[in-house]
Amino acid sequence: MKQTKLDHLCRIVIPVSIRKNLGMKEGTPLKIEQNGDCITIKIAESTCRLCGAHDAVHEELMICSTCIQKIKKL
Ligand SMILES: [Zn+2]
């Protein structure tokens, strides 16, 4: 378990090892949920396996619509 703390604006920094493992970068949308005394942070949207986009990702294929269109043209 990684440990961090809130800054003066109550923000947290997600440790770099976790960001790298999850492919997180600036602008990655997140969901924050409270369950009792626990807080869960999840990536809000799926990420395209090919380009890393978060928009319009097909849930089963895990590929965005832009990449799907490029593949169809091959
Ligand atoms: Zn893509």
Q: What is the DSSP string of 2-53?
A: ------TTS-----HHHHHHHT--TT--EEEEEETTEEEEEESS---TTT--
Neighbouring C-beta atoms of residue 31, cutoff 10 Å:
10
Q: What is the pLDDT along the chain (74 residues), one digit of tens a residue?
A: 888 899 999 999 999 999 999 989 888 878 899 999 999 998 887 889 999 998 888 878 889 999 999 999 99
Which pLDDT does position 47 carry in this prediction? 83
Identify the pLDDT of residue 27.
80
Evaluate the CA torsion angle 50, 52, 58, 62 in order and state its sign. Answer: positive
Q: Output the CA 70–ligand 1 centroid distance in Å.
A: 9
- Domain locations along the chain: 1-43, 45-74
Give the pLDDT of residue 25.
87
**1-43 belongs to which CATH class?**
mainly beta
**How many angstroms is it from 72 CA to the middle of ligand 1?**
13
Cα of 43 from ligand 1 centre, angstroms? 17
pLDDT at 8: 96
Q: How far is the CA of 9 from the centre of ligand 1 (A)?
A: 34
pLDDT recorded at residue 63: 93
